[in-house]
Structures are given as C-alpha cells and as structure tokens.
C-alpha cells in the first residue's frame, strides 16, 4: 500500500518525504555504482518525492549515459536518492530504501526485491549471482 515515508541521509542534513509502496517492487542492481554504494532502490514518479531540506548539502555525480543524477550528501557521503528522466518512465526519483527513517524492520524485510543486471545493460534480467547484492 502506498504511503508517505520520511527519509534522510546519515547526518540528517538531507531530509525528504516520498509517497511509495514497499509492498511493490524494490530493486538491487549489479552495476558498478549500485554495487559499490550498496544502493537498494524503489523508483517513483518525481511528483511523489519532496526534498524538505538539504539542497545545499547535496552533491551530484553522473556517469555512463549521464541519464541519472546520483545525489549524495557531501557531509556524510550517503546517497539518499537519484533523479532522472527516461522516455519510458518520465521524470523519476530512485529512493534509497535504506534511507527511509520510518520504515519498520518488518516492512524492509518483507519488501520484494527485483535483481537487475545493470553491469551488462540487461535491466530486465537478474544477474547470475545475487547474494552479494
């Protein structure tokens, strides 16, 4: 069920709200960015995300096709979300599920995870090995 969650980076400089459904799809990817940052995401329409504070604490990193603005707190280093626009989706925000402050351990444990083979640009297929993600 979709509901509003509050989220933040580790130091609290960046705070946001996001309307999302943790019973829906979350995903973990094996691309270099997601693997090295242990990014666990759920993708939502940009209209369902609201940055409450911390624009001044955010830095941006882009790589590859530069379709996604990976946003991270330059104080604590945590990546609470990424932003982009794709033809299929339109404007979106990829919210770091681990940054949801009021998601319960039970909600996080029950969230379904789709694995994506981003390393080989096969987003609809899981990689051969997923345990490390």
| pLDDT class of 89 with cuts at 50, 70, 90 | confident
Q: What is the chain's alpha carbon radius of gyration, rounded to the nearest angstrom?
A: 14
Task: Say if 125 falls within a structural domain.
Answer: no
Task: Say if 116 falls within a structural domain.
Answer: yes
Task: Say if 21 falls within a structural domain.
Answer: yes
In angstroms, the CA 120 to CA 74 distance is 29
Q: What is the DSSP string of 62-98?
A: --TT--EEEEEETTT----EEEEEETTTEEEEEEEGG
Domain range for 88 is 3-120
pTM reported for the whole predicted model: 0.92
How many domains does the chain divide into?
A: 1
Kindly report, residue by residue over 13-68, the tens digit of the pLDDT: 999 999 999 999 899 999 988 899 999 999 999 999 999 999 999 999 998 777 88
């Amino acid at each position: 069920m979709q509901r509003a969650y509050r989220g933040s980076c580790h130091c609290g400089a960046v705070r946001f709200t996001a309307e999302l459904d943790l019973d829906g799809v979350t995903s973990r990817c094996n691309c270099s960015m997601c693997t090295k940052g242990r990014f666990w995401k759920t993708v939502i329409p940009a209209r369902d995300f609201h940055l409450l504070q911390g624009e001044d604490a955010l830095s941006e990193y882009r790589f590859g096709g530069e379709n996604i603005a990976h946003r991270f707190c330059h104080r604590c280093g945590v990546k609470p979300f990424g932003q982009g626009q794709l033809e299929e989706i339109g404007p979106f925000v990829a919210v770091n599920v681990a940054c949801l402050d009021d998601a319960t351990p039970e909600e996080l444990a029950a969230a379904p995870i789709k694995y994506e083979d981003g390393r080989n640009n096969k987003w609809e297929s899981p990689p051969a090995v997923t345990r490390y993600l």
